[in-house]
C-alpha cells in the first residue's frame, strides 16, 4: 500500500466518521466509497466508523471481487454501479438520516421548495422504488432515481449523495437532509410553495461552481 492509497483510505474513514459526527448515521449503518484506480475503495461491512482504520477499507474491483479479510459494505453493488454509470462521480455516500429516511418511508419526492435543491441537479429529490438492501434490483432502482441527479432517497431505506470527491458528496448528503428537515417543518406550518422549474434551472447553473472547495 503506497502513500497515495493510504491517504485515500484515510479519507474514506474520515468521510464515514463525518456522517456520524453530523448526525446522518449511527452504528454500522451507511457506507462510503471512493473511485480508486481500476476499482473503488469502500467501507467494510459491520465495522462502526469510530473503530474503522484505513487498512479496514476494502478495495473492490469493478467485477465485484476483492482480496481482503473483511467484506465490503453490503451495498457495494449500487456504489460500483453508480461509479460505472457516472464517469464524473468519484465518491458515493449512503446514509440513514432521520428526516430523509422518514420521507423515504413515505415514498415521497421532495419538491423544489427551496433553491438549494439545485445542488441535487434538478427540481426534485426523487425517491426510488423499494428493493431488498444489497440487491441488484436496489442498484437498478437507485440508478433510475439518480438519472440527471446527484442524490436521491431510497424507499423505506435512506439516501444516496454523490460527488466528484468525498468532500462534495458529504456536503450534498448534509444538504439533502437539511432540505428534508426544512420541508417536514414547512408542512407543519402550512403549504410550502414550490419554485418554478426555470428558477431551479438558473440555480443549477450557479451551482456548477458552488460547494466546498480546498483552502488556499
Predicted pLDDT at 29: 84
Residue 212, pLDDT above cutoff 90: no
Residue 51, pLDDT above cutoff 70: yes
Q: What is the pLDDT of residues 116-136, one digit of tens each?
A: 999 999 999 999 999 999 999
Burial of 180 (0-12, 13-18, 19+ CB in 10 A): buried
- 205 catalytic residue (yes or no): no
Residue 213, pLDDT above cutoff 80: no
SS3 content of the chain, % helix, strand, coil (to 5): 45, 15, 40
What whole-number distance in Å separates Cα of residue 16 and Cα of residue 41?
12
The single residue listed with the C-alpha cell 456536503 is 171
Predicted pLDDT at 37: 95
Mean pLDDT over residues 51-56, rounded?
96
Cβ contact 39:59 at 8 Å? yes
Catalytic residue (choose from 5, 14, 55, 75): 75
Report residue 88 as a C-alpha cell: 464524473
Predicted pLDDT at 211: 65
What whole-number distance in Å separates Cα of residue 153 and Cα of residue 29?
15
The single residue listed with the C-alpha cell 438549494 is 116
Residue 102, pLDDT above cutoff 70: yes
What whole-number distance in Å separates Cα of residue 9 and Cα of residue 108?
35
Residue 43 gets the label, from left (phi > 0), alpha (psi -120 to 50) or beta, of beta
What is the biggest distance separating any 2 CA atoms in the chain, rounded to whole angstroms? Answer: 55
Cβ contact 91:33 at 8 Å? yes
Predicted pLDDT at 187: 98
CA 137 to chain CA centroid, Å, is: 18
Q: pLDDT confidence of 28, banded at 50, 70, 90?
A: confident
- pTM, two decimals, is 0.94
Q: Report the chain's mean pLDDT, rounded to a whole number.
A: 95
- Alpha helix ranges (H) inside the chain: 3-21, 76-85, 98-105, 136-145, 166-189, 197-207
What whole-number distance in Å separates Cα of residue 191 and Cα of residue 199?
19
The share of the chain scoring above pLDDT 70, in percent, equals 97
Residue 159, pLDDT above cutoff 60: yes
Q: What is the pLDDT of residues 165-175, one digit of tens each?
A: 999 999 999 99
Amino acid at each position: 500500500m503506497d502513500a497515495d492509497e493510504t491517504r485515500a483510505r484515510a479519507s474514506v474513514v474520515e468521510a464515514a466518521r463525518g456522517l456520524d459526527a453530523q448526525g446522518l448515521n449511527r452504528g454500522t449503518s451507511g457506507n462510503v466509497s471512493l473511485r480508486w484506480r481500476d476499482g473503488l475503495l469502500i467501507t467494510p461491512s459491520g465495522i462502526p466508523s469510530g473503530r474503522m482504520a484505513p487498512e479496514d477499507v476494502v478495495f473492490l474491483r469493478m467485477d465485484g471481487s476483492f482480496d481482503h479479510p473483511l467484506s465490503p459494505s453490503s451495498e457495494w453493488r449500487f456504489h460500483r454501479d453508480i461509479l460505472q454509470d457516472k464517469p464524473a462521480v468519484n465518491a458515493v455516500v449512503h446514509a440513514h438520516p432521520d428526516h430523509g429516511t422518514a420521507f423515504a418511508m413515505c415514498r415521497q419526492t421532495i419538491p423544489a421548495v427551496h433553491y438549494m435543491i439545485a445542488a441535487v441537479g434538478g427540481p426534485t429529490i426523487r425517491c426510488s422504488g423499494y428493493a431488498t438492501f444489497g440487491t441488484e434490483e436496489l442498484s437498478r432502482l437507485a440508478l433510475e432515481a439518480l438519472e440527471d441527479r446527484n442524490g436521491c432517497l431510497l424507499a423505506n431505506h435512506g439516501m444516496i449523495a454523490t460527488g466528484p470527491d468525498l468532500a462534495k458528496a458529504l456536503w450534498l448528503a448534509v444538504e439533502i437532509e437539511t432540505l428534508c428537515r426544512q420541508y417536514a417543518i414547512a408542512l407543519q406550518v402550512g403549504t410550502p410553495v414550490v419554485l418554478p422549474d426555470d428558477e431551479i434551472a438558473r440555480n443549477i447553473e450557479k451551482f456548477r461552481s458552488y460547494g466546498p472547495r480546498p483552502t488556499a
